[in-house]
Structure 1
Amino acid sequence: MLKMLGAALVILAATLVGWYQAKQFANRPNQIRRLILALKRLETEIMYGFTPLPDALQRIADQNKEPIKSLFVVAAENMNPPRNWTAQKSLEHAIESGWGRTSMKKPEKEVMNQLSYTLGTSDRQDQIGHIVTAVRQLESEEAAARDEQSRYEKMCKSLGLLSGAFIVILFY
Protein backbone atom coordinates (compact mmCIF):
# COMPACT_ATOMS: atom_id res chain seq x y z
CA MET A 1 0.00 0.00 0.00
CA LEU A 2 2.81 2.39 0.89
CA LYS A 3 4.54 1.63 -2.41
CA MET A 4 1.38 2.49 -4.34
CA LEU A 5 1.07 5.77 -2.49
CA GLY A 6 4.72 6.59 -3.20
CA ALA A 7 4.30 5.71 -6.87
CA ALA A 8 1.22 7.91 -7.14
CA LEU A 9 3.06 10.80 -5.49
CA VAL A 10 6.03 10.44 -7.86
CA ILE A 11 3.75 10.40 -10.89
CA LEU A 12 1.78 13.36 -9.53
CA ALA A 13 4.93 15.39 -8.83
CA ALA A 14 6.41 14.71 -12.27
CA THR A 15 3.10 15.52 -13.95
CA LEU A 16 2.84 18.82 -12.06
CA VAL A 17 6.37 19.76 -13.13
CA GLY A 18 5.41 19.05 -16.74
CA TRP A 19 2.25 21.13 -16.44
CA TYR A 20 4.19 23.98 -14.82
CA GLN A 21 6.68 24.00 -17.67
CA ALA A 22 3.83 23.92 -20.20
CA LYS A 23 2.25 26.89 -18.42
CA GLN A 24 5.51 28.80 -18.79
CA PHE A 25 5.40 28.18 -22.55
CA ALA A 26 1.80 29.41 -22.61
CA ASN A 27 2.44 32.51 -20.46
CA ARG A 28 5.43 33.79 -22.41
CA PRO A 29 3.64 34.96 -25.60
CA ASN A 30 0.81 36.47 -23.54
CA GLN A 31 3.22 38.44 -21.38
CA ILE A 32 5.14 39.63 -24.44
CA ARG A 33 1.85 40.82 -25.96
CA ARG A 34 0.99 42.69 -22.75
CA LEU A 35 4.45 44.26 -22.73
CA ILE A 36 3.98 45.36 -26.35
CA LEU A 37 0.64 46.95 -25.50
CA ALA A 38 2.20 48.68 -22.50
CA LEU A 39 4.96 50.13 -24.69
CA LYS A 40 2.39 51.32 -27.21
CA ARG A 41 0.53 53.08 -24.39
CA LEU A 42 3.82 54.62 -23.28
CA GLU A 43 4.36 55.83 -26.83
CA THR A 44 0.93 57.47 -26.77
CA GLU A 45 1.58 59.05 -23.37
CA ILE A 46 4.86 60.53 -24.59
CA MET A 47 3.60 61.65 -27.99
CA TYR A 48 0.13 62.99 -27.28
CA GLY A 49 -0.12 63.30 -23.52
CA PHE A 50 3.07 65.28 -22.96
CA THR A 51 3.21 63.34 -19.70
CA PRO A 52 6.44 63.34 -17.66
CA LEU A 53 8.11 59.94 -17.85
CA PRO A 54 7.60 58.87 -14.19
CA ASP A 55 3.90 59.72 -14.40
CA ALA A 56 3.58 57.94 -17.75
CA LEU A 57 5.25 54.82 -16.34
CA GLN A 58 2.92 54.88 -13.34
CA ARG A 59 -0.16 55.19 -15.58
CA ILE A 60 1.06 52.26 -17.68
CA ALA A 61 1.57 50.24 -14.49
CA ASP A 62 -1.94 51.04 -13.31
CA GLN A 63 -3.35 49.68 -16.58
CA ASN A 64 -1.51 46.36 -16.39
CA LYS A 65 -1.57 43.17 -14.36
CA GLU A 66 1.35 41.43 -12.70
CA PRO A 67 4.14 40.70 -13.56
CA ILE A 68 4.26 43.48 -16.19
CA LYS A 69 2.81 45.96 -13.70
CA SER A 70 5.69 45.61 -11.25
CA LEU A 71 8.27 46.44 -13.94
CA PHE A 72 6.66 49.82 -14.56
CA VAL A 73 5.85 50.52 -10.90
CA VAL A 74 9.44 49.99 -9.80
CA ALA A 75 10.76 52.11 -12.67
CA ALA A 76 8.34 54.94 -11.87
CA GLU A 77 9.04 54.84 -8.13
CA ASN A 78 12.80 54.98 -8.66
CA MET A 79 12.50 58.07 -10.87
CA ASN A 80 10.59 59.97 -8.19
CA PRO A 81 12.00 61.41 -4.94
CA PRO A 82 13.83 60.38 -2.81
CA ARG A 83 15.89 58.39 -5.33
CA ASN A 84 15.52 60.58 -8.43
CA TRP A 85 17.26 58.00 -10.60
CA THR A 86 17.61 58.46 -14.34
CA ALA A 87 15.16 56.66 -16.61
CA GLN A 88 17.91 54.27 -17.70
CA LYS A 89 18.98 53.34 -14.20
CA SER A 90 15.46 52.97 -12.85
CA LEU A 91 14.26 50.86 -15.79
CA GLU A 92 17.35 48.65 -15.64
CA HIS A 93 16.81 48.14 -11.91
CA ALA A 94 13.15 47.32 -12.48
CA ILE A 95 14.07 44.78 -15.15
CA GLU A 96 16.75 43.16 -13.01
CA SER A 97 14.58 42.95 -9.92
CA GLY A 98 11.33 41.87 -11.58
CA TRP A 99 12.29 39.81 -14.62
CA GLY A 100 12.47 36.56 -12.67
CA ARG A 101 8.74 36.74 -11.97
CA THR A 102 7.92 36.78 -15.67
CA SER A 103 7.89 33.91 -18.14
CA MET A 104 9.83 35.97 -20.64
CA LYS A 105 13.35 35.07 -21.67
CA LYS A 106 16.64 36.77 -22.39
CA PRO A 107 15.79 38.22 -25.86
CA GLU A 108 12.87 40.22 -24.44
CA LYS A 109 15.04 41.36 -21.54
CA GLU A 110 17.70 42.58 -23.97
CA VAL A 111 15.11 44.57 -25.93
CA MET A 112 13.93 46.27 -22.75
CA ASN A 113 17.50 46.98 -21.64
CA GLN A 114 18.25 48.54 -25.03
CA LEU A 115 15.16 50.70 -24.68
CA SER A 116 16.28 51.82 -21.23
CA TYR A 117 19.45 53.34 -22.69
CA THR A 118 17.48 55.79 -24.82
CA LEU A 119 14.38 56.42 -22.75
CA GLY A 120 14.38 59.89 -21.26
CA THR A 121 17.68 60.96 -22.85
CA SER A 122 16.50 62.45 -26.13
CA ASP A 123 13.66 64.42 -27.66
CA ARG A 124 10.13 63.13 -28.01
CA GLN A 125 10.44 61.97 -31.65
CA ASP A 126 13.63 60.02 -30.98
CA GLN A 127 12.07 58.27 -27.99
CA ILE A 128 9.02 57.35 -30.06
CA GLY A 129 11.31 55.86 -32.70
CA HIS A 130 13.11 53.74 -30.11
CA ILE A 131 9.83 52.55 -28.61
CA VAL A 132 8.53 51.61 -32.09
CA THR A 133 11.75 49.68 -32.72
CA ALA A 134 11.40 47.86 -29.41
CA VAL A 135 7.77 47.01 -30.22
CA ARG A 136 8.80 45.54 -33.58
CA GLN A 137 11.50 43.44 -31.96
CA LEU A 138 9.10 42.21 -29.30
CA GLU A 139 6.52 41.33 -31.95
CA SER A 140 9.06 39.07 -33.66
CA GLU A 141 9.89 37.51 -30.27
CA GLU A 142 6.18 36.99 -29.67
CA ALA A 143 5.88 35.10 -32.94
CA ALA A 144 8.82 32.90 -31.95
CA ALA A 145 7.28 32.34 -28.51
CA ARG A 146 3.95 31.31 -30.04
CA ASP A 147 5.83 28.87 -32.27
CA GLU A 148 7.62 27.41 -29.23
CA GLN A 149 4.32 27.18 -27.40
CA SER A 150 2.68 25.23 -30.20
CA ARG A 151 5.65 22.87 -30.39
CA TYR A 152 6.50 22.29 -26.75
CA GLU A 153 3.46 22.92 -24.56
CA LYS A 154 1.72 19.61 -25.20
CA MET A 155 5.02 17.76 -25.19
CA CYS A 156 5.88 19.06 -21.70
CA LYS A 157 2.56 17.88 -20.31
CA SER A 158 3.03 14.41 -21.76
CA LEU A 159 6.69 14.25 -20.82
CA GLY A 160 5.91 15.06 -17.20
CA LEU A 161 3.49 12.19 -16.89
CA LEU A 162 5.70 9.78 -18.81
CA SER A 163 8.82 10.64 -16.83
CA GLY A 164 6.90 10.05 -13.60
CA ALA A 165 5.78 6.67 -14.88
CA PHE A 166 9.34 5.88 -15.96
CA ILE A 167 10.71 6.71 -12.50
CA VAL A 168 8.09 4.49 -10.88
CA ILE A 169 8.97 1.63 -13.23
CA LEU A 170 12.67 2.05 -12.39
CA PHE A 171 11.93 1.82 -8.67
CA TYR A 172 9.98 -1.42 -9.02
Structure 2
Amino acid sequence: MLYKIIGGGLIIAATTVFGCSKARALSERVNSLLRIKTALSVLESEIIFSANHMKRAFLRLADTVGPAFLFREAAARLEEDGVGKAWRDAVDKYRKKLCLADEDVRMLKTLSAELGMTDRENQVKNLRRVAALLDTALIKAREEYDRSARLYRSCGIMAGLLVVILLV
Protein backbone atom coordinates (compact mmCIF):
# COMPACT_ATOMS: atom_id res chain seq x y z
CA MET A 1 0.00 0.00 0.00
CA LEU A 2 2.83 2.38 0.86
CA TYR A 3 4.42 1.74 -2.55
CA LYS A 4 1.17 2.68 -4.28
CA ILE A 5 1.00 5.96 -2.38
CA ILE A 6 4.64 6.77 -3.13
CA GLY A 7 4.22 5.78 -6.79
CA GLY A 8 1.05 7.84 -7.09
CA GLY A 9 2.77 10.84 -5.56
CA LEU A 10 5.68 10.49 -7.97
CA ILE A 11 3.34 10.26 -10.96
CA ILE A 12 1.44 13.37 -9.89
CA ALA A 13 4.70 15.20 -9.22
CA ALA A 14 6.12 14.25 -12.62
CA THR A 15 3.08 15.35 -14.60
CA THR A 16 2.82 18.56 -12.57
CA VAL A 17 6.47 19.38 -13.27
CA PHE A 18 5.88 18.68 -16.97
CA GLY A 19 2.88 21.02 -17.08
CA CYS A 20 4.72 23.74 -15.19
CA SER A 21 7.74 23.46 -17.48
CA LYS A 22 5.50 23.94 -20.53
CA ALA A 23 3.99 27.04 -18.90
CA ARG A 24 7.47 28.33 -18.03
CA ALA A 25 8.55 27.92 -21.66
CA LEU A 26 5.69 30.18 -22.74
CA SER A 27 6.74 32.76 -20.16
CA GLU A 28 10.38 32.51 -21.22
CA ARG A 29 9.43 33.10 -24.87
CA VAL A 30 7.69 36.36 -23.91
CA ASN A 31 10.71 37.45 -21.85
CA SER A 32 13.16 36.52 -24.61
CA LEU A 33 11.26 38.42 -27.27
CA LEU A 34 11.07 41.46 -25.02
CA ARG A 35 14.82 41.37 -24.28
CA ILE A 36 15.70 40.88 -27.94
CA LYS A 37 13.43 43.76 -28.97
CA THR A 38 15.14 46.01 -26.41
CA ALA A 39 18.55 44.85 -27.63
CA LEU A 40 17.65 45.65 -31.22
CA SER A 41 16.65 49.17 -30.19
CA VAL A 42 20.03 49.60 -28.52
CA LEU A 43 21.74 48.14 -31.61
CA GLU A 44 19.91 50.68 -33.73
CA SER A 45 21.33 53.45 -31.54
CA GLU A 46 24.79 51.92 -31.81
CA ILE A 47 24.54 51.93 -35.60
CA ILE A 48 23.19 55.48 -35.83
CA PHE A 49 25.34 57.26 -33.25
CA SER A 50 28.44 55.21 -32.47
CA ALA A 51 29.74 53.84 -35.76
CA ASN A 52 31.18 50.92 -33.78
CA HIS A 53 32.25 47.73 -35.46
CA MET A 54 29.55 45.04 -35.19
CA LYS A 55 31.68 42.91 -32.87
CA ARG A 56 32.01 45.78 -30.41
CA ALA A 57 28.28 46.54 -30.74
CA PHE A 58 27.36 42.89 -30.05
CA LEU A 59 29.65 42.79 -27.02
CA ARG A 60 28.14 46.01 -25.65
CA LEU A 61 24.67 44.50 -26.09
CA ALA A 62 25.80 41.37 -24.25
CA ASP A 63 27.11 43.49 -21.38
CA THR A 64 24.15 45.85 -21.10
CA VAL A 65 20.89 44.41 -22.39
CA GLY A 66 21.12 40.71 -23.16
CA PRO A 67 20.43 37.94 -23.79
CA ALA A 68 24.19 37.97 -23.25
CA PHE A 69 24.90 34.47 -24.55
CA LEU A 70 23.25 35.22 -27.92
CA PHE A 71 25.23 38.38 -28.59
CA ARG A 72 28.50 36.94 -27.24
CA GLU A 73 28.12 33.98 -29.58
CA ALA A 74 27.45 36.27 -32.55
CA ALA A 75 30.48 38.40 -31.64
CA ALA A 76 32.70 35.33 -31.28
CA ARG A 77 31.72 33.96 -34.70
CA LEU A 78 31.83 37.33 -36.41
CA GLU A 79 35.42 37.37 -37.66
CA GLU A 80 35.46 33.86 -39.07
CA ASP A 81 31.94 33.76 -40.52
CA GLY A 82 30.88 37.33 -41.26
CA VAL A 83 28.01 39.20 -39.65
CA GLY A 84 25.12 37.44 -41.41
CA LYS A 85 26.26 33.88 -40.81
CA ALA A 86 27.40 34.68 -37.26
CA TRP A 87 23.95 36.05 -36.41
CA ARG A 88 22.10 33.12 -38.03
CA ASP A 89 24.30 30.56 -36.27
CA ALA A 90 23.91 32.28 -32.89
CA VAL A 91 20.11 32.37 -33.27
CA ASP A 92 20.08 28.69 -34.30
CA LYS A 93 22.32 27.67 -31.40
CA TYR A 94 20.26 29.38 -28.70
CA ARG A 95 16.72 29.10 -30.06
CA LYS A 96 15.77 26.41 -27.53
CA LYS A 97 17.37 28.21 -24.61
CA LEU A 98 15.39 31.33 -25.58
CA CYS A 99 12.22 29.21 -26.13
CA LEU A 100 11.71 30.80 -29.55
CA ALA A 101 9.07 29.58 -31.98
CA ASP A 102 9.95 28.85 -35.61
CA GLU A 103 8.37 32.13 -36.74
CA ASP A 104 10.51 34.04 -34.21
CA VAL A 105 13.66 32.40 -35.52
CA ARG A 106 12.77 33.17 -39.15
CA MET A 107 12.08 36.77 -38.21
CA LEU A 108 15.39 37.18 -36.38
CA LYS A 109 17.30 35.55 -39.22
CA THR A 110 16.01 38.19 -41.65
CA LEU A 111 18.35 40.60 -39.88
CA SER A 112 21.33 38.72 -41.27
CA ALA A 113 20.65 39.89 -44.83
CA GLU A 114 21.57 43.52 -44.19
CA LEU A 115 23.20 43.63 -40.77
CA GLY A 116 26.72 44.93 -41.21
CA MET A 117 26.45 44.60 -44.99
CA THR A 118 24.71 47.79 -46.07
CA ASP A 119 24.83 51.44 -45.19
CA ARG A 120 23.52 52.74 -41.87
CA GLU A 121 20.19 53.85 -43.28
CA ASN A 122 19.29 50.41 -44.66
CA GLN A 123 20.48 48.67 -41.50
CA VAL A 124 18.29 50.96 -39.39
CA LYS A 125 15.31 50.34 -41.69
CA ASN A 126 15.84 46.59 -41.39
CA LEU A 127 16.13 46.80 -37.59
CA ARG A 128 12.94 48.85 -37.37
CA ARG A 129 11.10 46.40 -39.63
CA VAL A 130 12.18 43.45 -37.49
CA ALA A 131 11.30 45.41 -34.32
CA ALA A 132 7.78 45.94 -35.68
CA LEU A 133 7.52 42.22 -36.44
CA LEU A 134 8.77 41.47 -32.93
CA ASP A 135 6.01 43.68 -31.52
CA THR A 136 3.44 41.53 -33.31
CA ALA A 137 5.15 38.31 -32.19
CA LEU A 138 5.29 39.64 -28.62
CA ILE A 139 1.56 40.33 -28.61
CA LYS A 140 0.87 36.81 -29.92
CA ALA A 141 3.24 35.27 -27.37
CA ARG A 142 1.55 37.13 -24.50
CA GLU A 143 -1.87 36.03 -25.74
CA GLU A 144 -0.67 32.44 -25.97
CA TYR A 145 0.77 32.65 -22.47
CA ASP A 146 -2.45 34.10 -21.06
CA ARG A 147 -4.52 31.47 -22.84
CA SER A 148 -2.38 28.37 -22.30
CA ALA A 149 -0.09 28.66 -19.27
CA ARG A 150 -2.77 28.01 -16.68
CA LEU A 151 -4.15 25.22 -18.85
CA TYR A 152 -0.75 23.48 -18.98
CA ARG A 153 -0.34 23.67 -15.22
CA SER A 154 -3.86 22.38 -14.55
CA CYS A 155 -3.61 19.63 -17.14
CA GLY A 156 -0.33 18.48 -15.64
CA ILE A 157 -1.92 18.01 -12.24
CA MET A 158 -5.12 16.51 -13.63
CA ALA A 159 -3.27 14.08 -15.91
CA GLY A 160 -1.30 12.83 -12.93
CA LEU A 161 -4.46 12.37 -10.88
CA LEU A 162 -6.13 10.54 -13.78
CA VAL A 163 -3.22 8.14 -14.19
CA VAL A 164 -3.14 7.44 -10.44
CA ILE A 165 -6.90 6.81 -10.37
CA LEU A 166 -6.64 4.45 -13.35
CA LEU A 167 -3.76 2.55 -11.77
CA VAL A 168 -5.42 2.19 -8.39
| TM tier relative to shorter chain | over 0.9
1:106 alignment counterpart: 102
Q: Distance in 2 between matches of 1:29 and 1:95?
A: 16
Alignment-derived partner of residue 29 in structure 1: 30
RMSD of aligned C-alpha atoms? 1.0
Which contiguous aligned blocks of 4+ residues in structure 1 show a shift greater than 3 angstroms? none
CA offset at residue 117 of structure 1?
A: 1.3
Distance in 2 of aligned mates of 1:165 and 1:152? 20
Whichever residue aligns with residue 25 of structure 2, its letter is Q
Normalised to the residue count of structure 1, the TM-score between the two structures is 0.94
The answer to whether the aligner puts 1:150 opposite 2:146 as a matched pair is: yes
Give the aligned residue type for 1:78. R
Write the distance in 2 (CA, Å) between the matches of 1:97 and 1:43.
Answer: 23
User: What is the DSSP-based 3-state SS (H/G/I as helix, E as strand, rest coil) of the residue aligned with 2:100?
Assistant: coil
Using the TM superposition, give the Cα deviation of residue 64 of structure 1 relative to its aligned residue in structure 2, in angstroms. 3.2
Q: Does residue 69 in structure 1 map to residue 71 in structure 2? A: no
Q: Would the aligned equivalents of 2:38 and 2:65 in 1 still touch at CA under 8 Å? A: no
How many angstroms apart in 1 are the aligned matches of 2:27 and 2:109? 24
TM-score by length of 2: 0.96
Q: Which residue of 2 aligns with 1:3?
A: 4
Q: Secondary structure at the match of 1:119?
A: coil
Point out where structure 2 has 5 or more consecutive residues left out of the alignment: none
**Residue 124 of structure 1: aligned partner:** 120
Please state how far the C-alpha of 1:40 moved relative to its aligned partner: 0.3
Deviations 1:60-118 (A, max 9, x none): 011134xx2211111111113xx2x2100111111111112111211111111111111
* Alpha-carbon distance between aligned partners in 1 of 2:114 and 2:103, rounded to the nearest angstrom: 18
Where does the alignment leave 5 or more consecutive residues of structure 1 unmatched? none
Query: 2-side partners of 1:61 and 1:23: how far apart?
Result: 23
Distance (whole Å) between structure 2 residues aligned to residue 44 and residue 64 of structure 1? 13
Q: Percent identity?
A: 27
- Aligned counterpart, 2:18: 17
Alignment partners' CA distance in 2, 1:136 and 1:115: 13
Equivalent residues, number: 167
